């Protein structure tokens, strides 16, 4: 079965620090998509960043970047210069060959003032 594992249930960092959220996944597919979604306390989930597996270059979106290690099946999210508004649940997600998205259990991130 294809799975997505987020090993850090909860993390706290000081504002302006850099934080890395971990994600590993399991698949036998060679081409797939990976995502990080953010769910703030107001509940509306938004896409943070997307990575296509066939692209070697790691995706970046402003302060958010990923470290995609295909051989290790690892997809971590780095948040630089963290801000109070980054406080949220972060979900790693994977699209499998059946075109069904699978989410991890999430990491609750607290940015402390």
Partner 1 sequence: DAGVTQSPTHLIKTRGQHVTLRCSPISGHKSVSWYQQVLGQGPQFIFQYYEKEERGRGNFPDRFSARQFPNYSSELNVNALLLGDSALYLCASSPRVAVYNEQFFGPGTRLTVL
Pairing of strands 107-112, 10-14: parallel
Pairing of strands 10-14, 46-52: unpaired
Label residues 19-50 b or e (16+ Cβ within 10 Å = b): bebbbbbebeeeebebbbbbeeeeeeeeebbe
Beta bridge mates, 109: 11, 88
Nearest approach in angstroms of CB 17 to partner 1 is 25
Nearest approach in angstroms of CB 113 to partner 1 is 26
Question: Is 98 a binder of partner 1 (CB under 8 A)?
Answer: yes
Q: Among 41, 71, 99, 113, which residue interacts with partner 1 (rule: CB under 8 A)?
A: 99
| Cβ neighbours of 110 (radius 10 Å) | 13
Nearest approach in angstroms of CB 52 to partner 1 is 8
Pattern 43-72, partner 1, x by CB under 8 A: xxxxx--x-x--------------------
Residues at the site binding partner 1, with contacts judged by CB under 8 A? 4, 33, 42-47, 50, 52, 91, 93, 95, 98-106
């Amino acid at each position: 079965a294809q799975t997505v594992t987020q090993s850090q249930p909860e993390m706290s960092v000081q504002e302006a620090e850099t934080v890395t959220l971990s994600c590993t996944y399991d698949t036998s597919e060679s081409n797939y998509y990976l995502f990080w979604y953010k769910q703030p306390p107001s509940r509306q989930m938004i896409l943070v960043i997307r990575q296509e597996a066939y692209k070697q270059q790691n995706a970046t979106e402003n302060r958010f970047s990923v470290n995609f290690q295909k051989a290790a099946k690892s997809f971590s999210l780095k948040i630089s210069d963290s801000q109070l508004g980054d406080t949220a649940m972060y979900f790693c997600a994977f699209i499998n060959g059946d075109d069904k998205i699978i989410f991890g259990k999430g990491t609750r991130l607290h940015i402390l003032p």
